[in-house]
Structure 1
Amino acid sequence: VVQLVFIFVFAGWIFNWIMLPTQAWYKFWGLILDKNDSRAYGESASYAILYVVPVIFIAFFGNIYMKYIKMLPDSIRNAWSRPALIKAPILSLISGVELFVLAAFVLLCAWSTWRPIKTLLDKIHDPGQQWIEGPLCEIIGYELGYAGLVPFAFLFFPVARTASILHLVNIPFEHSVKYHIWVANITLVLWTGHSVAYLILWIRAKETSKFINQGGRFDLAGIGASVAFATSLIMWITAIKPVRNRKFEMFFYTHQLYIVFIFSFAVHAGDRGLETIAAGMVLFFVDRLLRYLQSRRHVDMVSAKLISSDMMELTFAKDPSLRYPASSIMFLNIPTVSKLQWHPFTVTTNSNVDDYKISVVIKSKGSWTKKLRNYVTNPKNYHVDAIIEGPYGHSLDYLIDYSILVFVAGGSGITPFIPILKEVFVQIQTGQRSLPEKIELIWTLRNSDELSVLESVSPWSICPDFSYLLNLQIHAYLTRQDATDLKNKPSNSHETILFTGTQYEKYLTHKKPKFKAVTGTQSYALHAAVILASFGGYLLLSGVIRRFIVFPLDHNVYHIYNKPSTGTIALLEYLAAVVVFGGSTAVAWTWWKERRIGAVMGMKMELPFVVEEDPVMLTDVHFGCRPDYPEIFFEHARRRRKGVSVGVMACGPQQLQESVAAECKA
């Protein structure tokens, strides 16, 4: 019943966007919006009810729902991850459901663009409609700008890491980023057309000054449009994949211009334009607030394990009460390396096994990771401070529903499977549910040094009898090494740098004698409380400001407080509500939690970090070759035809994922 309510509310929200370009919408809602002219909220209240309230309703009750009940059925999640397009020119490795949703979204944007333009063009060619004024460019430019509101309203949903909208269908943040890219491209295509149309209009009329000047005074709406267009172009160009891959730092820094873009949009569109897209923006603001509060707390790095010449494992102190799904990701910032850069990494520990630590494996590729390796290996640095956001993850319970699981990893792509294997061993030991009969891990790597990553799995320490209950096969393919090299190489050649133990006394003399641990903000109840407090605070602030400041001077006629003024006021109201009301709620929640369980790990927490690993054994090692995927998956396809369920999960380079997806589809 609850799921049906969510579907009904979301469908109504989408239906409102579908009907927006039609005359029927204006005949019904247009009259209501025009008549709703309250002293407290003005016309913007009606737009908030139509566009913001439904999403806030789903986000709030969605968090409550996920706190007590599981997400949507496994069949829906599986359909969302089954590949349909593998090597398309622009779109690759997307499922049939994703393709359908993308096509429907493009049709919605096309409908929002073409329908009003066609109606206006028909009226222009009708001799009886002489009241239509303005050249063709102005009409097309206006409607393209209006149509751009549709994708812009969806833009922030995929990048709100803690938002419950995508969590309801169990879509992880790392997968939803591509949806943000799709929506951003559609938005910028429409708004670039909007800007170009007006530029052509004013250039032909030799009135380019209208961009920033109207009637002898500065036009703030035009200035806002100019700034928004310039910043969007900068972000768009630097986000192109080749540029982003080669100049990630430039992409990262220029993308912070979204703050300028949002303010410029509010100045240009006014309060009614802002309300139409405010739902996703509010959830993004809440997400940024929670991430900021978590990032204010520094965390101690406990150890650094040098696995190979370009790979290392970093371990941090963790609050034992922090729980997160297997294969989660966290964002890491090392202030001594760079105060501004954040980088995502897969968490290799499992919160059901590793109570006091959280680890990530990092491969030194770019300048930031190389600087980090040099810093942690410097013997003068006895203490390393870190800032962590997350972990962020999604449930992988559905993987255990398969009889056979095939994990395919390439290089550092092994990291998501380490906590998943630990989770399987925990499930075997506790006997909580039925488990797969066989797990086959196929790992392609360059040299044998990286094999020590598997040492942290330690299945016998989790489940001593696992070998009798699970057929685990691990096949390693060393592409740049032969058997002779492996035989002549000394064992345990990696080095572990401890920031505890022998150096602990030095640490105590310089810093506080306690470890600062990771304490997550991944609480559905906390998210629900912050969302409710933020939106309730906005209603309070908006009502007071408009009733006692705006209305006495302007009387809702938009003369004194015009579009730029009302748009800026509305944006500041949302920001203030999230910061003041939502922030107060989050701070109070965190204070209560720390008082109850303690967020700082004492000296007694030192011992669990230094443990002897009991690594999992490899089934076989192949030298100087790569896996023969057609042969491997042919056998699994034969089992599947006999009714055995086989689940495949791949992580690694794009080419590896495409090869695995092609074999699965075949």
Structure 2
Amino acid sequence: MGDHSAHEPLLLREDDRFGYVKKTSFWLSSVKWILKVSMWVIFIAWATFLFVYPLESVTELFDKWIEATRGTVFGLTGSIFLLFSGPILIIAFLAIILLIISGEEELHENTTRKARFRLWTFPVIVDGPFGVVSAAELIGIVLFSVYVIWAVTVYTIKNQKIISSFDLHSKEKSAMMLELTGLRFGLIGLFCLAFLFLPVARGSVLLRVIDIPFEHATRYHVWLGHLTLSLFTLHGLFYVIGWSMQGRLLEELLQWKNIGIANLAGVISLSAGLLMWIPSLPSVRRINFELFFYSHQLYVVFVVFLALHVGDFIFTMAAAGIFLFMLDRFLRFCQSRKTVDILSATCRPCGTVELVVAKPANLRYNALGWIFIQARELSFLQWHPFSVSSSPLEGKNHLSVLIKVLGEWTSKLKGHILNVSKDEPQTGLLLKPHSKITASVEGPYGHESPYHLTYENLILVAGGIGISPFLAILSDILHRIKDGKPCLPKNVLIVWAVKRSNELSLLHTVDMESICPMYSDTLNLEIQTYVTRESEPPLEEGKVQESVNSPIFPATKRCGMSVLVGTGNIVWSGIYVVASTIGLVISVIVLDVFYINPFNITYWWYKGLLFLACMMASVLIFGGLAVGLWHLWERKTTAMEESEENEKNGYTHSEPVMPKDPCQGNAANTIRYGQRPDFQEIFGTISERWGDVNVGVIVCGPPTLQVTVAKECRTQNLRRRNNHPIFHFNSHSFDL
């Protein structure tokens, strides 16, 4: 294993492997560079404006901007929307252009061969309330913390100046100070709300352009959610205390002003926020996930009554993130309405179910991908995320997932498959139509580029069913080697911890010898397996444990997944975003010209509701038209591909592949019983053998495993010598 080291660029062009290099167009590179710089400049300017907004001088400039744009067709609402939400939408437009002209070209760009630290993959905090935190994430946490402290300090000073200008008694001053402080907390919370919905838009072009997968972005949404609702809670609490001191609490809570803030709407919005927030706390979420899931649907109530509470022009300060989330949510709704064929279902002896799902040939995803599955026979409401366990190169018309039977939903799924197999013995015939599993799928989601291919040296650490995405990686590497596609990994170490030896058969769902018989000439693969709850091999270790159930489901119409979401067609995705945004502008103009201005509509809460209605209408009407055309294009493209291939590349069922000897081919496979991985020893050995290289460490497993591996990566990096590698920590574990 030590014979291979990183002495080539981190990612080779396909042409490089054949002795020549195809240079990227100078103009194309220049345009991409201009787009990236423009996006960063706009974002930094926008974030800086939000940061310095509490300053008196900036407030004065803001007032001048409002006065200068007051006579436009959009009025005050349009001025504030352009200033606070416009930059995010402009960045989204530039991101669409960048993704379109980049295509898959980023995959073939050379990167440095020298080992160096990276902020995104260097774990700094490994055990705390935030979990494993990288250096880049820590910078983000610090910036938000500094902003909140800074804003509260500046506003407190301004509040004291305001109060000192009035001749009031001490009790009146205290009440006024509480109300002003509550007002400031609400404004700070509104600025944090501007970020809150950006990470939770699963297929957002913003996440795709910065290559942050949804399972990572959910962590940022959780952090921002805690911060935002803490600020809004303080906002309401300070007002409640101030009103109580003045003896007008009930009166103020029930007040619904037509001109000004509607307090009752704010009470309803905050109540919905608290009902979402409490079940989302880790201690509650672990005990009752469904309570968290269903209570989180109150975000609709939270947003609607927030718009009623503050009115249209204040709501527009956070409208961009909410609008992008609405775009994503509508697109996911359209995708999830489609019924998807489950081509086969296998119950393995270790309590794991393998599902093979139909997909169109033009659906693109990476090996480290996620899909959300809903089985209508089990529940109409529950969606569950699963890692894709197959490579995108395995088959054009199918992908597979491995599902560990742990909870109620997965137990029902296994029971349904067992009942099907009991009613329909395996006689080589297809199951009857009534036996089908009716499923819907969202995704695939994941990294925009296959980052596992950017490392020449990989350490894949899995716990239990966490081996699933690494089977996809292994299959992807083998297929790339076989097909001569760009593939950098040369040294791969898999460290897998399982509880029982009956789980070992999962590793053999990838038949390495049949995929690429000569893979050992290019790939140096080592597998270390640890069976933690068995002290010695079972007596039947040499026997093959068959997969007891493998029903084949009829799929005559090839009803595959939709390509509307995830890493789908960026051109159509861009058309959808642009069309919806243009629709929002047109809707607001029409509303102002033909209704608000002629009828002199001035009620704040009503205008807030109308603006929210414009957002929804633009998504449903203008965006819906784009989605409809996208769907027609998808159907036409899929039909053409099926006609051309004439079913020859379609998925055909075969009998389950029997597990082979653990040492397939030339892969070094060691199995240790009654012990856990000693990562200090493993990483220390790798440091001595691989030398001064970049090592990608990808972990998929429980939080304790992630913490242990992250801690060892940090230790090795901090103690690193010049001739030792740098370990880049990457997590692939989904946790809502």
TM-score, structure 1 length as denominator? Answer: 0.92
1:387 aligns with 2:420: no
Tell me which of 500, 514, 518 is aligned to 1:447. Answer: 500
1:87 aligns with 2:127: yes
1:50 aligns with 2:83: yes
Secondary structure, aligned partner of 1:91 = coil
Partner residue, 1:625: 675
Moved more, 389-398 or 573-582: 389-398
Partner residue, 2:303: 262
Partner residue, 2:518: 465
Residues 631, 488 of structure 1: alpha-carbon distance in 2 compared, 3 angstrom cutoff: closer
Alignment of 1:532-551 (within 5 A): 532-551=578-597
1:185 aligns with 2:226: yes
Instruction: Report % sequence identity.
Output: 31
Task: Give how far 1:610 is off.
Answer: 2.4
- Which residue type is aligned with residue 493 of structure 1? E
Q: Deviations over 1:92-140 (max 9, x none)?
A: 211011001111012122323331221121342357999x987111111
Partner residue, 2:619: 578
- Which residue type is aligned with residue 124 of structure 1? I
Q: Deviations over 1:422-465 (max 9, x none)?
A: 22112222333352331110111112222222233222333221
Moved more, 251-260 or 457-466: 457-466
Quote the Cα distance in structure 2 between the aligned partners of 1:566 and 1:218.
11
Moved more, 336-345 or 13-22: 13-22
- Which residue type is aligned with residue 159 of structure 2? L
Q: Deviations over 1:454-501 (max 9, x none)?
A: 23322233322101211111121112235441535741332232233x
1:106 aligns with 2:145: yes
Given that 2:372 and 2:386 are in contact with CA atoms closer than 8 Å, whether structure 1 keeps it comes out as yes
1:527 aligns with 2:576: no
Aligned residues: 648
Given that 1:77 and 1:170 are in contact with CA atoms closer than 8 Å, whether structure 2 keeps it comes out as no
Quote the Cα distance in structure 1 between the aligned partners of 2:437 and 2:512.
30
Secondary structure, aligned partner of 2:348 = strand
Quote the Cα distance in structure 1 between the aligned partners of 2:69 and 2:168.
30
Partner residue, 2:702: 653
Residues 564, 493 of structure 1: alpha-carbon distance in 2 compared, 3 angstrom cutoff: same
Partner residue, 1:13: 46
- Which residue type is aligned with residue 546 of structure 2? S
Given that 1:86 and 1:661 are in contact with CA atoms closer than 8 Å, whether structure 2 keeps it comes out as yes
Tell me which of 121, 135, 140 is aligned to 2:181. Answer: 140
Given that 2:537 and 2:673 are in contact with CA atoms closer than 8 Å, whether structure 1 keeps it comes out as no
Quote the Cα distance in structure 1 between the aligned partners of 2:448 and 2:629.
28
Tell me which of 236, 240, 253 is aligned to 2:277. Answer: 236
Residues 608, 499 of structure 1: alpha-carbon distance in 2 compared, 3 angstrom cutoff: closer
Quote the Cα distance in structure 2 between the aligned partners of 1:382 and 1:12.
58
Q: Deviations over 1:613-652 (max 9, x none)?
A: 4868441211122112111111112245x32332211111
Tell me which of 547, 557, 561 is aligned to 1:518. Answer: 561
Secondary structure, aligned partner of 1:415 = helix
Quote the Cα distance in structure 1 between the aligned partners of 2:505 and 2:563.
29
Quote the Cα distance in structure 1 between the aligned partners of 2:52 and 2:313.
17
- Which residue type is aligned with residue 98 of structure 1? E
Partner residue, 1:97: 136
- Which residue type is aligned with residue 657 of structure 1? Q
Q: Deviations over 1:44-68 (max 9, x none)?
A: 1111211222111111221221233
Residues 279, 77 of structure 1: alpha-carbon distance in 2 compared, 3 angstrom cutoff: farther
Residues 78, 371 of structure 1: alpha-carbon distance in 2 compared, 3 angstrom cutoff: farther
Partner residue, 1:507: none
Quote the Cα distance in structure 2 between the aligned partners of 1:199 and 1:214.
13
Quote the Cα distance in structure 2 between the aligned partners of 1:389 and 1:120.
49
Moved more, 144-153 or 58-67: 58-67
Partner residue, 2:161: 122
- Which residue type is aligned with residue 272 of structure 1? F
Quote the Cα distance in structure 1 between the aligned partners of 2:714 and 2:256.
63
Superposed CA RMSD in Å reads 2.7
Given that 1:517 and 1:599 are in contact with CA atoms closer than 8 Å, whether structure 2 keeps it comes out as no
TM-score, structure 2 length as denominator? Answer: 0.83
Residues 351, 436 of structure 1: alpha-carbon distance in 2 compared, 3 angstrom cutoff: closer
- Which residue type is aligned with residue 219 of structure 2? K
1:303 aligns with 2:344: yes
Moved more, 433-442 or 467-476: 433-442
Given that 2:373 and 2:439 are in contact with CA atoms closer than 8 Å, whether structure 1 keeps it comes out as yes
Partner residue, 2:210: 169
Quote the Cα distance in structure 2 between the aligned partners of 1:161 and 1:216.
37
For structure 1, the residue ranges without an aligned partner over 5 or more in a row are 505-511, 555-559
For structure 2, the residue ranges without an aligned partner over 5 or more in a row are 1-33, 424-433, 664-668, 716-736
Task: Give how far 1:228 is off.
Answer: 0.8
Secondary structure, aligned partner of 1:148 = helix
Task: Give how far 1:420 is off.
Answer: 1.0
Quote the Cα distance in structure 2 between the aligned partners of 1:570 and 1:105.
29
- Which residue type is aligned with residue 624 of structure 1? G
Residues 458, 91 of structure 1: alpha-carbon distance in 2 compared, 3 angstrom cutoff: same
Secondary structure, aligned partner of 1:298 = coil
Given that 2:398 and 2:651 are in contact with CA atoms closer than 8 Å, whether structure 1 keeps it comes out as no
Moved more, 292-301 or 200-209: 200-209
1:362 aligns with 2:407: no
